[in-house]
Structure 1
Amino acid sequence: MLKKLACFTGWLLVLCLSLLFSFTLGLWQDWRTSSILVFWLLMLLITVLLWCVGHTLVLVIKGKKGRRLFEKFRLSRREFVLKAHWKTGASIIKRARRQREKLPLYLLLGDRCGKSTLLASAGLPTFYNDADDTLIRPTRTLRWWFFRQLCVLDVSSNFLSGSPAVAQAWKRLVQWCTSMPAPAGVIIAIPVTSLLNPDLSALHALIRQQRALLEPLVRRFGEQLPLHILITQCDRFPGFSLWAQQLSPEQRLQPLGYTWSHPPHIDGQDEQILHPLFSALKQGMSRVRLSMGRSVGLTATEDATLLDFPETFSRLEPVLRYAVASLCEPNAYFRHTSLSSIWFCATEPLDENRSRRTGLFVHHLFANHLKDLGLRRSKQRWLHRPHVKKACVLALSLAAVWITVSAWLSYEYLQTNVRQQSPDNLAKFLAKDEQRHHLSLRYLPFLPLIEEQRQIAETRLIQSPSTKRKPQVSLDAYQWQVLRAAPEEQRDLILSLADAVITWQQMRTGVTLDELQNNPPVKKALLQRNTLKKLSPLSIMAIERHYMRTPEGERWLFTAQRLLETLVNHDPALQWLVAPEVMHHPLQAAAWWPSLPDSITLSGLWTLEGEKTLFGWISTLEKAVAHPLPILTQEKTRWPTRRQDAWRQYLIEVSAHLSSVSPSGIPRTQLVAMGQNKSSAMQFVHRTLHELQDITVPQAQPWLQTLRQLQQLSTEANASAMVRRTTQIDRQVRQSLTDWLQGSRDTKMPGRAAPADRAWLHWQTVRNKAVKEAVSQGAPDAHLTRALFAKNENGDGNPITDLLPALTALQEHLTPQNTDAGVNAVWLFYQNDAQRLAANAIHQSTCWLNEQWKRSVIWPLGKNNDTRDYEQQQALSQQLIGDFLRGPANAFLEKDKSGLSAVSFAGIHAPLTAEFIHLVRHSYPAEKLLDIQERESTRDEDQITALVAKVAALEAEQNALSKKSWKLNINSMPATVPGGAQLVPTGTQLTLSCQNGEQKFISMNFADTHGFSWQPGHCTDVTVSVMFPGFTVHHRLYGEDAWPTFIRRFTSGEALFQSSEFGEDADLLEQTGIKHLLVRFALSETNEIETAWQAWYARAQNIDELNTQIADLAFRSEQHTNTPISALPGDIAQCN
């Protein structure tokens, strides 16, 4: 049990360590989790496979396993014996081949037809065989017969049995045959008894067995394997032995048969197939028959048989034709075979030894004929075969055509007189000549003449007048031109130099003029030679290539490379490399937002295509200088940061112009696109992510990370709940594992990403709901802005009010406490969709409000206006406008310091016209939008009423005081001039003017007494007069307080007056030199008068203050005047 537990623990530890290794490698290479798991599984699979292979090899080496695996490659006992016999003869044939000895090989096939007896009785010596070949014994497997110049492989008739083991052995034998040179032919042995058998089905079965056995060889060698049919046991044909006995011994050695010079076409319906064979046999036998004469020892019957033998033997033709057709005619199962010859032979026992037999018509067949046929066949393999002859004729014909065409083309080429051609024509000639060299087979027979012509043309071209330029002078001038140019021009000049260096390098490697023309042209300032004539670019290129291949050209190239390296390093910031270019069109913000100005652009160099172009420039520069440049390598390293900085600035600039959104309608297609995350802002975001997709995670700046997080949230939101959950777990596991590998302690909590996902889903839900309402909105209506400007309105919730809060919540989850301007710009793009939805809602509502204005104000005023006078029309307009302001327009107006103005939401103001705002501000107070109890005018009227009541009360009290009269007794004393004067006063006069008359007190500087009666509010004028001889001066006091003021001044019994206090009479005093006057009046008790005055004056002040308040309140309520009907606007909102 402990052993099993330890084994399980060990395997589990190995799996965990391998998984940890896979995750460490995958996180380092920034692989996806799925790729990491696949890599882990592949690693385990490869490990298991290697272990299994190693274990299996160990077992195979030890001999414990693998027998079944190699079972099909093992040989059975029969096959082993067969291979042993095969290798014996095959080694002899290979040795003869190595010794270049021609030893044709024939395969002999037959089914118990005496073929082995025939070979043994041929009377030919054999080689490489110690056994007695004259002994007749059946062939069990194979038997090699090596004659002097011929080899025959006798194949046992057992192979025709068709048993699986024999069939498998035959396949082996065919495989071994194909590993050697093709046999000279196959001899098919057919016994004559099969031809004499009237049952043709037996003959057909025999032939088909042989044909099936022969098919693998035919499939392998085809026409290279001719067939030779050998009819054996002819001694069993009636009269054949008798006829053979009449022949001489030499004639018995000769072959009996026929050989076709060309393989005949085998057709079973053609009766003339074997006609050449039997015609030749009959003709020969007839001649032999004439030479035989009549033998003495023959009976009449034998003599008749002998005489009739040629005709009798010809009867074999139909049966033999049937056999040949069955053997050679192609069909759906067997291929076509070529018939070469047919031979007849037999064997007879020897008289002295009946166990031995001698062959008839066999000796010369194996000794000469088959050898000659095999050798002729070997020679015919490549020369004497019909198709080879045709191929040779075709090749000779093609060669003749080739030479003819080459002569014609070369003549056209050589007839050009290059010695009299212009330089431009010579350059074209050389370019055309180089094209010919690419297809030089056309001109190969006359290539020396063409080469001579080309050399003459090149020499003539180089002789064109030109002057040599010094590399230091020319390249230094070019350097000075580069350093003085603008960054864009510097880049063009440096790249032109790099292209020129590359072109020069190609010139030195032998590149053709046509290929060089594909390169950018070399600037004139960089050419080695200064041509005196105007030449074509091709001519200049040819001359430049010639001189570039010289040692001076090599030095020129080296100097140009050093100059190029110097120019690349002259600006460490590489401003010339990243300068704006015109090859790639800049990204214009107007492509996504047509309302934005065309000046908001991003250089195309910062896009993916621009990056490819820049890296292509860098590659060109490094290729030109032939080694990497550190400054360019550093630029490639910091290029991702520079690209992000450029895009960040672009996003900030675009978002700044998108921050202010004005109310406007959104087409239905754009609303649908907005619901599918395909709005202009989202398309711009997707383009940004696409252009920066090659920025790796460690290289990404905060704003790009935020943008990718939002994109990831969008992708996950479209997935199913299971996929989202799996993604969250994957992200959490990767983050936790990364923190653990880095040794970070502040690992994130497992559920930290869930609030961001929920915030994103909430934002998407609210936005989609707002989009759905906007799409379903038909005619303009105020439904989209319900509860948008006033939170206390009744009705269901408006999703637009939740758009910005939902986005703010998402922003707090993803980028809390953010201070980066790029991140803020990213959020402004998402905020733009919310603002556009709000602007669309406000636009729709204000359009509805404009229709309501026309319907409820303009149209009723125009209806039946003939029946109303102007005052009635004015009153009706005031009523309609008031109802309109308190009704539909109430939600679209708000009060500010200037009065009523258009409402706003998220900085978007309702597009009410300036005329309408002026109308409501100057003709209709803001309080008219409120209920009567909440209006300020109502409160003012209430205050006026209260103040009027107070004023009435105070006036009543004041009137009561005014009705009373207060007495005052005054004693006069002489008036004097302090310090003396030429004139002295002669008397004084005191006058009190009241509503009921004047009261006067005249004293001639005597001690007189007079009583005065005073009523508050009725006496408003007091005059003190001083009489002099000839004139009188007056001092007047005016107002309700005139008498109390007089009393307060004479409380001490006297008052000193300045001369200026006498008004218009002051000049008289100054003329007499009087500056001061001392007037004396002694007053009785004045406390009651002062008390009455104070009481009355206090009430007068209160009344004045209350009247002032009443006047202010009355003025505020009357400051709005009626607006003329002609001033009413036709449209109150910008709805277009």
Structure 2
Amino acid sequence: MFKKLACFTGWLAVLCLSLIFSFMLGLWQGWSTPGILLLWLLVMVLAALLWHSLPELLLLIRGKKGRRWFTKYRLSRREYVLFNHWKAGASVIRRIKRRRTHLPWYLLVGERCGKSTLLASAGLPRFYGDSVDGITAPTRTLRWWFFRDLCVLDLSSNFLNGAASFRQAWSKLARWCTHIPAPGGIIIALPMSQLMRGDLSQLHALARQQRSLIEPLVRHYGERLPLYVLVTQCDKFPGFSLWQHQLSDAQRQQALGYTWSVPPHIDGQDDTTLQPLFTRLHEGFSLVRLSMARPATLSAPEYNALLDFPEAFARLEPALRYTLAALCEANAYFSPATLKSIWFCAAEPQVENQGRRSSYFIQELLTRHLPALSLKRSGLRWYQRSFGRTCCYTAAGICALWLAISASMSAMRLRPGLAELAPDKLAAFVAADEQHATLALPWLPFMPLFNQQQREAETLLARIPVTARPARQTLEAYQQRALHASPAQQRHAILQLAAAVTRWRQMQQGTPLDTLAEAAPISDELTQNVYPPTLSPLTRLALERYYMQRPYGERWLQNAQRVLENLVNHDLSLRWLQAPDAAFPPLHAATFWPALPDSLALDGRWTQAGEATVNQWMAEIEAAAGRTEPVFQPLRESWQQVRQQAWRHYLIDVTAHLSPDETGTVSRRQLIAISQNQSPAMRFAARIVDELDTIAPEHAQPWLTTLRDVQTLARAGDGAALLQRTERINNQLRQSLAAWFQGKSQTAAAATAQSAQQAWLAWQKSRNSAVTAAVAQEKPGDTLTRGLFTPGQQKPDTNPLGTLLPALATLQERVSPDEPDADVAAVWRLYQDDARTLLANAMASSACWLNTQWKSSVIWPLGKNAEKRSYEEQQTLSQQLVGNFLRGPAKPMLSVDNNGLRAAGFAGMTLPLTAEFSQYLRNAFPPDILQDLPQRTTTKVQDRKATLQAKVAALELQQSKLEKQVVKTTVTSLPATIAEGAQVIPTGTQLLLNCQKGGQVLSSMNFADKADFTWQPGQCRGVTLSVTFPDFVAVDQINGDDAWPWFVSLFSSGETLIDSRDFGDSAELLKRLGIKQILVRFAMSNTQPLEEAWQSWKTNADEISSLTQQISDLNEQSAYPQPDELAAHALSGLPDEIAQCQ
């Protein structure tokens, strides 16, 4: 139990470790998961094969220690002991075989018949193992007997009738016996007692047991393993012991039996099968009987028995024949066996020591007959055996038949009178004759005749007169013509010369004419000779091959290769190789988008077809040159990078021509193609990925990597749900294993890949929803754009078009989290084409529906009963109908900007309204016409304006009350002077307060004069201060509603310095007099009421001014005309079509 558990645990560990190793290697190499599992299965198969072949490998390599250790744990205890016994003798046989010495060995089987006693009592020396003749013990398993010229492997009778373990051990022992040199035969021991008893059923059972035992070896070796029957215990036959005692010692050592020179056919019903055996025995017995005298020691009965012994012994023939039939007859259960000899022997107790026995008639059998028989059989040649002779006769008959058939067919192939054939027919004959395979069996014996016939035909062709060309001049002229040609013509000339060089080399190698004729013919300007124009192309080809196989043809080929090298290397930029050609036509963008111009195309050499064509050209040139051209190496190294650049520019150009704001309807087939990832943009993206699939990921540019990632998501999304789930689980498993092998948690890349897949599915769901809605709409309507221009009025997921571009933006963020450059942005503009196509289809459908509504709700009602209405009534009706139309079906499809009403838009795309209708809306209607009256801006402005006007009226009433207040202030004048001193000093002052009711004056000659001044808010707007000098008067004028309050606050301290610049026209005169400041003195009394009255009036005036400004702003804001205030518009201004409906 422990051994089974250990074995199971070991195999489980091997399975797990091999699986981990396979995944590590596969993830490192970037293999697919099925490939990794296939590798794992292959490793398991190899491990199983190694497990079964390891014992043999250990036996062959490591020797005894390894064999002993490994076999101990692979075999059971009994099998291990059996193996040790067998190995002891097998090693001796192998060692003798390696010395190239012949030592035959035989297998001895029998059931408790004294066979081991017979060998032990033979009195022959043994050369291995225990050579002491002791009391023989029964053989438990097996025993090796090594005599001088023979080895016998004695098997225990337990293998015949033992337990199942012995039968299992015998199967392994039989397999071990096949690993050493083949045995000389199998000796089957039959006890005399069984034959004498004559029980046929028991004899049959015994024979079948022995036949079943030796069947594995007989099946393995076949006729090479003869059977030898040894009848033991003959001393039990009446008279046998008496008879052998009358013989001499030398006679008792001879072999008693018979050997067939030709193996007999065993038939249980044939009485003559054993006749040779018993005839010879009877003759021998009779001769011995005649030579005997009557011994004096024998009684009369014993002597009679001795005389009757030969005839009595012959009565064993039926039982022996029946036993041999059961043993050797062929049937459906056993392989055919060959009987070689039958021998009789005995082992009788010694007279001196009854515990020991002496064997008779066995000595010469072991020392002479059996070794001789093995030598005779080993020296037999294979062709001397029956099967070999049959094979030889069969081969000779086949060869004779082959020669006869070949002769008849060759006679039909040989054609006389070749010299009488015309050149074209002669060339056709050569071509037809070459179609026969050179080493075909029907022609092989007579190939020299066919070769001679072909040489004769070519010699006859060579008699045709031709004009030879000089190789150097002809090929150099060809080179000059090619160098002066255009790049495309240069390439044609180079390829033509390369093809000719390849053809000439094939001609030198003896390629058949039919094979040469399959390719394009060699140009007439490159042939070695000028051939008559009457010759057929096949005849010219045959002549060209004939002359090319001559020494002059070798020189011609060398010159042609030199010219080819010159032409290939004359232009290192390889313009001739990359020139346009019809073999790789340009890839037009109109193939995907028919509306794009034909001029937008990719050079054909950057496609896979172009790349394959260029590679084929280079391969043809290098094959003709016989080496790799160094001039092609830079092109090969930079080809993939240049291809990427070409496709990158092409992608940018194509996406730049895809108009993002054009609208138009899409057919149902195009919509279904979009849902199946077969739109022009998706087909173009798939074409780019397929064209550049040979570029390794590490060499791919960012835009190509992004495109591949998105296409991978698209392909994963195209599969069935089960396949998608399987692929997702596969990716997660691989990413988890990769992270585990690296000793860290799952990377952010795995999460990014999963989120990218989810984003792609979200984008695909939004796109398919939009396609489903578009396909379901049978006629133009506003359902596709419903809620698109006013998203706040509906749920965000109501219209799938509203989530289409955001879903694509999310996908872009997941796939390209970094700021994309121009190349990557072009990739995403390509994928935006589907979204914009669906959006354009929706807007075109809505525009057509709106145009229909315009005609049914405006144009048709105006035209109905128009003759019954006056022009003014028509104008009024038109205004009413247009207003209802704008507030009704057109309201969701219009928007407002600084210029007025315009067509609504989404994602940079607007409804295709006509310019005439847009101009009509801006000129005839205010922006708030789309709103209800309470919600219009003008209504709100008027309400605000009325509120402000009411506040202004209340403040104006309060202001008028404040202006009626009278405030009296007493002013006392004091002397004015120049504080810094001057040549002229003031002589007096005058103060004048200007009010609406008149002026109030205080004049003083620098004395203390006093006057009362009366001031009303808003009624006194000026104060004049005059300073009198001897020759002039300096006047300072102060204006404004705050002039008097400000003047009073200025002299609140009783005096103030007034700068000379404040005196207006007198400022220059004061400056010349050196007067900078004048000190003026006035004493003010009762100023507090004045300050309070002024502050109240000023605060009220400021509020009135602010409200007035707000009213003014509202007036400017509401400067647009109102619908009921609009002037009548001409009816001819109404547009007939308001949308560009396709």
**CA offset at residue 474 of structure 1?**
2.3
Q: Does 1:153 align with 2:152?
A: yes
Q: 2:767 touches 2:835 (CA, 8 Å); kept in 1?
A: no
**CA offset at residue 403 of structure 1?**
0.6
Superposed CA offset, 1:93-124 (max 9, x none): 776758xxxx876544445545577779999x
Q: 1:215 touches 1:334 (CA, 8 Å); kept in 2?
A: yes
| Partner amino acid, structure 1, of 2:563 | L
What secondary structure is seen at the aligned counterpart in 2 of 1:142? strand
| Partner amino acid, structure 2, of 1:185 | G
Q: Does 1:264 align with 2:265?
A: yes
Q: Does 1:276 align with 2:273?
A: yes
Further displaced range: 414-423 or 447-456: 414-423
1: CA distance between counterparts of 2:659 and 2:639?
A: 30
- Equivalence for 1:143: 145
Summarize the Cα distance change of 1:398–1:872 in structure 2 as closer, same or farther, 3 Å threshold.
farther
Q: 2:781 touches 2:845 (CA, 8 Å); kept in 1?
A: yes
| Partner amino acid, structure 2, of 1:683 | R
Summarize the Cα distance change of 1:715–1:405 in structure 2 as closer, same or farther, 3 Å threshold.
closer
Superposed CA offset, 1:682-741 (max 9, x none): 331232123223334564445435545655787999999999999999999999x9xxxx
**CA offset at residue 371 of structure 1?**
7.2
1: CA distance between counterparts of 2:94 and 2:807?
A: 92
Summarize the Cα distance change of 1:830–1:423 in structure 2 as closer, same or farther, 3 Å threshold.
same
Q: Does 1:657 align with 2:657?
A: yes
1: CA distance between counterparts of 2:115 and 2:29?
A: 79
Summarize the Cα distance change of 1:864–1:761 in structure 2 as closer, same or farther, 3 Å threshold.
farther
**CA offset at residue 573 of structure 1?**
2.8
Q: 1:671 touches 1:771 (CA, 8 Å); kept in 2?
A: no
1: CA distance between counterparts of 2:732 and 2:438?
A: 64
**CA offset at residue 635 of structure 1?**
1.0
Q: 2:110 touches 2:157 (CA, 8 Å); kept in 1?
A: no
- Equivalence for 2:616: 616
What secondary structure is seen at the aligned counterpart in 2 of 1:784? coil
1: CA distance between counterparts of 2:764 and 2:444?
A: 78
**CA offset at residue 599 of structure 1?**
4.6
Summarize the Cα distance change of 1:366–1:432 in structure 2 as closer, same or farther, 3 Å threshold.
farther
Summarize the Cα distance change of 1:231–1:499 in structure 2 as closer, same or farther, 3 Å threshold.
same
Q: Does 1:233 align with 2:233?
A: yes
**CA offset at residue 789 of structure 1?**
4.7
1: CA distance between counterparts of 2:207 and 2:426?
A: 76
Q: 1:664 touches 1:840 (CA, 8 Å); kept in 2?
A: yes
**CA offset at residue 406 of structure 1?**
1.5
| Partner amino acid, structure 2, of 1:142 | W
2: CA distance between counterparts of 1:106 and 1:30?
A: 58
Q: Does 1:1122 align with 2:1131?
A: yes
2: CA distance between counterparts of 1:64 and 1:180?
A: 19
- Equivalence for 2:7: none
**CA offset at residue 816 of structure 1?**
7.8
| Partner amino acid, structure 2, of 1:844 | S
Flag structure 2 segments of 5+ consecutive residues without an equivalent: 1-24, 41-53, 718-723, 942-1120
- Equivalence for 1:637: 637
Q: 2:466 touches 2:529 (CA, 8 Å); kept in 1?
A: yes
**CA offset at residue 414 of structure 1?**
2.0
Equivalenced residues, count: 893
Further displaced range: 181-190 or 154-163: 154-163
Q: 1:348 touches 1:358 (CA, 8 Å); kept in 2?
A: yes
Map 1:64-143 onto structure 2 (within 5 A): 68-69=69-70, 71=72, 106-111=106-111, 113=113, 141-143=143-145
Map 1:598-997 onto structure 2 (within 5 A): 598-659=598-659, 662-667=662-667, 670-671=670-671, 674=674, 679-696=679-696, 699-701=699-701, 703-708=703-708, 765=762, 768-769=765-766, 771-776=768-773, 778-779=776-777, 780-786=780-786, 788-789=788-789, 800=801, 814=816, 820=822, 822-853=823-854, 855-856=856-857, 880=881, 883-892=884-893, 905=906, 908-912=909-913
Further displaced range: 823-832 or 870-879: 870-879
**CA offset at residue 405 of structure 1?**
1.6
Further displaced range: 908-917 or 637-646: 908-917
- Equivalence for 1:1093: none
- Equivalence for 2:974: none
Q: 1:255 touches 1:363 (CA, 8 Å); kept in 2?
A: no
Summarize the Cα distance change of 1:112–1:94 in structure 2 as closer, same or farther, 3 Å threshold.
farther
Superposed CA offset, 1:37-79 (max 9, x none): 99xx9xxxxxxxxxxx9xxx9xx99x99997447469998987
Q: 1:672 touches 1:771 (CA, 8 Å); kept in 2?
A: no
What secondary structure is seen at the aligned counterpart in 1 of 2:337? coil
| Partner amino acid, structure 1, of 2:193 | T
**CA offset at residue 419 of structure 1?**
3.0
Flag structure 1 segments of 5+ consecutive residues without an equivalent: 1-24, 42-52, 738-749, 940-1111
2: CA distance between counterparts of 1:816 and 1:330?
A: 86
Q: How high is the TM-score relative to the length of structure 1? A: 0.63
Summarize the Cα distance change of 1:83–1:629 in structure 2 as closer, same or farther, 3 Å threshold.
closer
- Equivalence for 2:478: 478
**CA offset at residue 908 of structure 1?**
4.2
**CA offset at residue 176 of structure 1?**
7.5
| Partner amino acid, structure 2, of 1:452 | Q
2: CA distance between counterparts of 1:499 and 1:795?
A: 72
**CA offset at residue 292 of structure 1?**
7.7
Summarize the Cα distance change of 1:146–1:862 in structure 2 as closer, same or farther, 3 Å threshold.
farther
- Equivalence for 1:214: 214
| Partner amino acid, structure 2, of 1:829 | L
What secondary structure is seen at the aligned counterpart in 1 of 2:783? helix
**CA offset at residue 293 of structure 1?**
9.8
Q: 1:786 touches 1:795 (CA, 8 Å); kept in 2?
A: no
Q: 1:665 touches 1:840 (CA, 8 Å); kept in 2?
A: yes
**CA offset at residue 615 of structure 1?**
2.5
Superposed CA offset, 1:954-979 (max 9, x none): xxxxxxxxxxxxxxxxxxxxxxxxxx
1: CA distance between counterparts of 2:589 and 2:324?
A: 90
- Equivalence for 1:324: 324
| Partner amino acid, structure 1, of 2:840 | A
**CA offset at residue 468 of structure 1?**
1.9
2: CA distance between counterparts of 1:310 and 1:730?
A: 89
Q: 2:227 touches 2:339 (CA, 8 Å); kept in 1?
A: yes
| Partner amino acid, structure 2, of 1:153 | V
Q: 1:33 touches 1:730 (CA, 8 Å); kept in 2?
A: no
Q: RMSD of the alignment, in Å?
A: 6.3
What secondary structure is seen at the aligned counterpart in 1 of 2:190? strand
1: CA distance between counterparts of 2:735 and 2:179?
A: 66
Summarize the Cα distance change of 1:721–1:139 in structure 2 as closer, same or farther, 3 Å threshold.
closer
| Partner amino acid, structure 2, of 1:843 | A
What secondary structure is seen at the aligned counterpart in 2 of 1:576? helix
| Partner amino acid, structure 1, of 2:566 | T
| Partner amino acid, structure 1, of 2:406 | S
| Partner amino acid, structure 1, of 2:773 | S
Superposed CA offset, 1:923-967 (max 9, x none): 999997777897999x9xxxxxxxxxxxxxxxxxxxxxxxxxxxx
Summarize the Cα distance change of 1:129–1:645 in structure 2 as closer, same or farther, 3 Å threshold.
closer
Superposed CA offset, 1:1033-1087 (max 9, x none): xxxxxxxxxxxxxxxxxxxxxxxxxxxxxxxxxxxxxxxxxxxxxxxxxxxxxxx
What secondary structure is seen at the aligned counterpart in 2 of 1:264? coil
- Equivalence for 1:1109: none
- Equivalence for 1:338: 338
Summarize the Cα distance change of 1:128–1:532 in structure 2 as closer, same or farther, 3 Å threshold.
farther
